[in-house]
Amino acid sequence: CGVFGVYHVENAAMLEYYGLHSLQHRGQESSGIAVSDGETINSYKGKGLTVDVFQKEKLSAMKGNTAIGHVRYSTAGGQEAENIQPIVSKGHNGCLAVSHNGQIDNDVELRLELENHGAIFQGTGDSEVILHQIQYERGTLLERITQAARKLDGAFSFLVMDEDRIYAVRDRYGIRPLSYAPCRQGYVISSETCAFEVMGIYESYDLKPGEIVEFSKDIVKHYQYTNDISHHMCAMEYIYFARPDSVVEGKNVHTFRKESGAVLARKDQDLHADIVVGVPDSSLSAAIGYAEESGLPFETGLFKNRYVGRTFIQPTQAMRDQSVRMKLSPVESVVSGKSVVMIDDSIVRGTTSRRIVQLLKSAGAKEVHVRIASPVFAYPCFYGVDTSTRAELIGARLNVEEICDYIKADSLRYLEVEDMREVAGQIGLCLACFDGKYVTNLYTHGKELED
Ligand code: 5GP
Ligand code: SF4
Ligand code: MG
């Protein structure tokens, strides 16, 4: 998912729209905006892309200079309308809106307790627990958020807005990114920095793990809700999720991917190939890095129809298969008769790689050597990236040789977990989907590992 906040900028809804539009790659299922005019919060949300949910008239009718928004890609909780964010509550003590990226892992435990105290949930999502937990606590809004954040466990970067403030909160492990930047007379807050650049903003700051940042009365205040922190930025943000022009923990995503590609090339000293082809768009950076390091030409051997959404973020396998077919075409004149190094960022279920090897071969490629710019994906993510069950992960069932057979490649190689650490340098990573070392207690999710 993606979250975006606007604090104290005229026509906040319009700026919010541009922010969400830049974060669209983080979720395409639904889009929502909540705006505060200083007295109350109005929200509008719907299924689909930001451009489809919001028309100009809708946005100009949403008056106010503070807003939060959300683009959704469901991991926990179904796709029903009740789970679309921001989630808004109107209580005796005022309005609150919440936008969340990540996944709360002790949501079942907290929900039971809250329900025992009379809470009535609208949806099945884990994010609603955040709002209820904040409402349940006592004290000022900051105190309530602090208490709630201490009880929530899992991955979360969330925004809380009342009539005249925004609080940005990041989990103690630093799993999901969250940054903010000054914008005109106020501030903008975003899951990724790519949203700032479209606004002409080039200087931004990251929230620290375990931090609450308050935007109120035109200033920024920092609070640490816990000192028990660690640095486990989701490796998948660099590998696949984030946009290449974003900077995550001080490192540009394109650069990270290029370096990963170069590491792959260094392991291939003995491979004799003709061209390097990346799977558009998320693997192009890694393919460029591989080509640069190996000295082989980087070629457009696959063309992507940009009007088909992200294939992975489709709920059923049949839909994913159909969209891979519509999305990618081989460029015959480029690949025919060639030995191709095909770079992809990851193999999850194996759908994409298998299909692309077949496409390249049907276009006349002599050999296809698949190189994956991440380690073998063998464990499900419980921190907000949908990899579904362990049974669906091809890397959990088959070894590399068997996967190579399955995708019908001439050879297959992945990066190692150590390679990821090397590329990350000083940046601490979560690599749980590769090495099974989860950074949190898994609560009820632990049983999913047994499947
Ligand atoms: P597969 O086709 O093996 O199931 O999934 C891998 C492909 O899906 C890659 O090409 C990758 O770019 C794309 N992909 C889309 N969404 C995701 C995601 O959330 N995580 C990962 N690792 N890959 C994804
Ligand atoms: Fe990211 Fe994998 Fe960790 Fe999930 S398990 S947060 S996808 S690195
Ligand atoms: Mg891809």
Residue list, ligand 2 pocket, CB within 6 Å: 175, 234-236, 381, 383, 385, 430-433
Mutate to test the pocket of ligand 1, among 24, 285, 346, 420 (most ligand atoms within 8 A of CB): 346
Atom in ligand 1 nearest the alpha carbon of residue 386: 19
Which letter, b or e, does each residue of 404-426 get, where b requires 16 or more Cβ atoms within 10 Å of its Cβ? bebbebbbbbbbebebbeebbee
346 lines ligand 1 (CB under 6 A): yes
Query: Could you tell me if 27 and 313 are in contact, meaning their C-beta atoms sit under 8 angstroms apart?
Result: yes
Query: Does 2-230 match 252-450 in CATH topology?
Result: no
> So what's the ipTM on this one?
0.95
Atom in ligand 2 nearest the alpha carbon of residue 431: 8
Distance CA 348, CA 379 (A): 10
Nearest CA to ligand 2 atom 1: 234
* 1 flagged as catalytic: yes
Could you read off the pLDDT of 212-222 as tens digits, one per residue?
A: 999 998 789 99
What is the Å distance from ligand 3's center to 347 Cα?
A: 9
Question: Does residue 311 surpass a pLDDT of 60?
Answer: no
Question: What torsion, rounded to 10 degrees, do the Cα atoms 241, 247, 251, 252 define?
Answer: 80
Q: Domain 252-450 carries which CATH code? A: 3.40.50.2020
Q: What is the DSSP letter of 406?
A: H
Question: How large is the average pLDDT for residues 171-196?
Answer: 97
Structural tokens at position 374: 């991440």
385 lines ligand 1 (CB under 6 A): yes
Q: Which of 1, 95, 183, 404 is catalytic?
A: 1
Please state, rounded to an integer, the average pLDDT across all residues of the chain: 94
Distance CA 91, CA 98 (A): 14
- Whole-prediction pTM value? 0.95
Atom in ligand 2 nearest the alpha carbon of residue 155: 6
347 lines ligand 1 (CB under 6 A): yes
The model's confidence at residue 312, banded by pLDDT at 50, 70 and 90, is low
Could you read off the pLDDT of 55-65 as tens digits, one per residue?
A: 999 999 999 99
E runs forming strands in 273-354? 275-278, 298-299, 302-304, 328-330, 339-344
% of the chain at pLDDT higher than 70:
96
The model's confidence at residue 447, banded by pLDDT at 50, 70 and 90, is confident
344 lines ligand 1 (CB under 6 A): yes
What is the Å distance from ligand 1's center to 225 Cα?
A: 34
What is the Å distance from ligand 1's center to 240 Cα?
A: 7
Question: How large is the average pLDDT for residues 8-12?
Answer: 96
Which sequence spans correspond to the domains of the chain? 2-230, 252-450
CA angle at 176 for the pair 172 and 178, rounded to the nearest 5°: 95
Distance CA 256, CA 435 (A): 20
Mutate to test the pocket of ligand 2, among 312, 431, 449 (most ligand atoms within 8 A of CB): 431
Query: Could you tell me if 277 and 302 are in contact, meaning their C-beta atoms sit under 8 angstroms apart?
Result: yes
Could you read off the pLDDT of 259-274 as tens digits, one per residue?
A: 999 999 999 999 999 9
Q: Domain 2-230 carries which CATH code? A: 3.60.20.10
Residues in Cβ contact with 374 at an 8 Å cutoff, skipping those fewer than 6 apart: 235, 236, 239, 240, 260, 345, 346, 414, 415, 420, 434
Residue 345, annotated ligand binder? yes
The model's confidence at residue 327, banded by pLDDT at 50, 70 and 90, is confident
pLDDT of residue 310: 57
If we measure between CA atoms, which residue out of 25, 2, 21 comes closest to residue 13? 21
Distance CA 403, CA 84 (A): 37
Distance CA 201, CA 217 (A): 21
Q: In what order do the strands lie in the sheet with 30-36?
A: 41-47, 30-36, 66-72, 2-7, 186-190, 179-183, 205-206
Question: What torsion, rounded to 10 degrees, do the Cα atoms 251, 300, 403, 307 define?
Answer: 80
